Amino acid sequence: MAGTRTETEPLRIAGRELHSRLLLGTGGFRSLDLLAESIRASGSELATVALRRVELPSTVGQPGGGAAAGNGGVAAPGAAAGGSRGALIDVLDAEGVEVLPNTAGCFTARDAVITAKLAREAFETDWIKLEVIGDEDTLLPDAPELLKAAERLVDDGFVVLPYTTDDPVLARRLVDVGCAAVMPLGAPIGSGMGIRNPYNIALIRESVQVPVVLDAGIGTASDAALAMELGCDAVMVASAVSRAQDPVAMAAAMRAAVQAGHLAHGAGRIPRKTYATPSTPVVGMPDFS
Amino acid sequence: MIVLNGQQREHHAGEAVAALVDSLGLPAQARGVAVAIDGEVVPRTDWETYAIPDGARVEVLTAMQGG
């Protein structure tokens, strides 16, 4: 069946071809084994990671414990912590997914830009999922800071994928400063509320020429399918999979939903009408009177 | 003294970033590790030669599940 319309076109972001239209967040998985299995079930080729402080060996923080410094011989306490975190990268490498670092937790353009530069050093990638958060309770993006950070990072050669609101005007501004894609939210991060403003998501799809990746808010497979039916080019999920009762099964469900929604969007749905239209011809009906 | 990841830490003059990273049990070429000093990124290529100044605020970061 190669070449038929039941095969989905690859997604292209900044010249890179992705055959899966599902991006996976690595946050919230109970174990790295579960993460690995979920990656396989999702078929995803791109997974987000955060940057956080290396855990220090317990002696290092104490005055007089500085013997650890410089000689490289004292590693044990920190090696375990650092090692388990480092293992995340090993898992992603082993599963063949590319790392998409994020700036999660940054509240200012300045912090996000520094974090992005550190991520570029750490992961040897110019790609950054840019998050600049404005509010701790909703984790909604801070639009002015986001735009400022996006502009600086694009100027510095980054491929910027900003986590943004469902505002079509802001999405256009982000593209105007050179973002390679936009990632509008369906609902607040981790809320599982689905797509609260589907009309805005459709408007964003119409108003920009770069890929639109629905990010945040997805609760279950039908939300992901809806995003694709609205014309989104891809969907990003994290909590919806990692915090599901069976993450691996939900990863498989998301994969199927994204494919189904993408196909349905391409197929062109019938218009909505209030009254019925018979699917069986009326002509040729027998008369039983 | 320096402040390493928010904790006071003893420090000897001339200690290079590479030595500090090594002392934390991270492999020298550790992928997924990045270092900032006083809010500026220290490129990996400078780790061997960059001497950490006394009083520096040093952040050593690595990959963590997120997003």
* CB-nearest partner of B31 from A63, A66, A89: A89
With contacts defined as CB-CB under 8 Å, which chain A residues touch B66?
Answer: 25-27, 48-50, 52, 102, 104
Residues of B within 8 A of A122 (CB-CB) are: 31-34, 61-63
Q: Are A86 and B34 an interchain contact pair (Cβ–Cβ within 8 Å)?
A: no
- What does each of the 289 residues of chain A score in pLDDT, given as a tens digit? 445 555 668 999 999 999 999 999 999 999 999 999 999 999 999 999 999 998 887 654 444 444 433 333 333 333 333 344 458 888 999 999 999 999 999 999 999 999 999 999 999 999 999 999 999 999 999 999 999 999 999 999 999 999 999 999 999 999 999 999 999 999 999 999 999 999 999 999 999 999 999 999 999 999 999 999 999 999 999 999 999 999 999 999 999 999 999 999 999 999 999 999 888 888 888 999 8
What pLDDT does B9 receive?
Answer: 86
Residues of A labelled catalytic: 129
Helix H or strand E segment including A121: helix A109-123
A60–B contact, CB cutoff 8 A: yes
Size of interface A-B (CB pairs under 8 A): 158
* Residues paired with residue A164 on neighbouring β-strands, in sequence order: A184
Structure confidence at residue A4 (pLDDT): 55
Instruction: Dump the DSSP string for A216-245.
Output: S---SHHHHHHHHHTT-SEEEESHHHHTSS
Q: What is the pLDDT of residue A5?
A: 57
pLDDT at position B28, please?
Answer: 66
Give the gap in angstroms from C-alpha A85 to the nearest C-alpha of chain B: 6
Residues 14-53 of A with CB under 8 A from B: 25-29, 35, 48-53
Nearest-Cα distance to chain A for B8, in Å, is: 6
Structure tokens at A213: 């990746």
Q: Among candidates A25, A38, A46, which has minimal Cα distance to A215?
A: A25
A70 burial type by CB count under 10 A (0-12 exposed, 13-18 middle, 19+ buried): middle
Angle made by CA atoms A233, A239, A240, in degrees to the nearest 5: 65
- A45 neighbors A97 (Cβ within 8 angstroms): yes
Whether residue B66 and residue A76 make contact (CB cut-off 8 A), yes or no, is no
User: Is A61 in contact with B8 (Cβ distance < 8 A)?
Assistant: yes
Residue position matching structure tokens 């995803």: A44
How many residues are given for chain B? 67
pLDDT in the model for residue A6: 56
Touching B: A residues 83-112, CB under 8 Å: 83, 85-86, 88-89, 99-102, 104
How high is the pLDDT of residue A279?
A: 86
Test mutation, A121, A127, A152, chain B, max B CBs within 10 A? A121
Q: Which ipTM value was assigned to this complex?
A: 0.90
Q: For the segment B26-58, what is each residue's pLDDT rounded down to a tens digit?
A: 876 678 899 999 999 999 899 889 999 989 999
**If you average pLDDT over every residue of chain B, what do you get?**
88
- The partner residue sitting opposite B24, judged by closest CB among A35, A54, A122, is A54
Beta-carbon separation of B31 and A114 below 8 A: no
Secondary structure (3-state) at A262: helix
Instruction: Give yes or no for A249 touching B (CB within 8 A).
Output: no
Check if A164 contacts B (Cβ < 8 Å): no
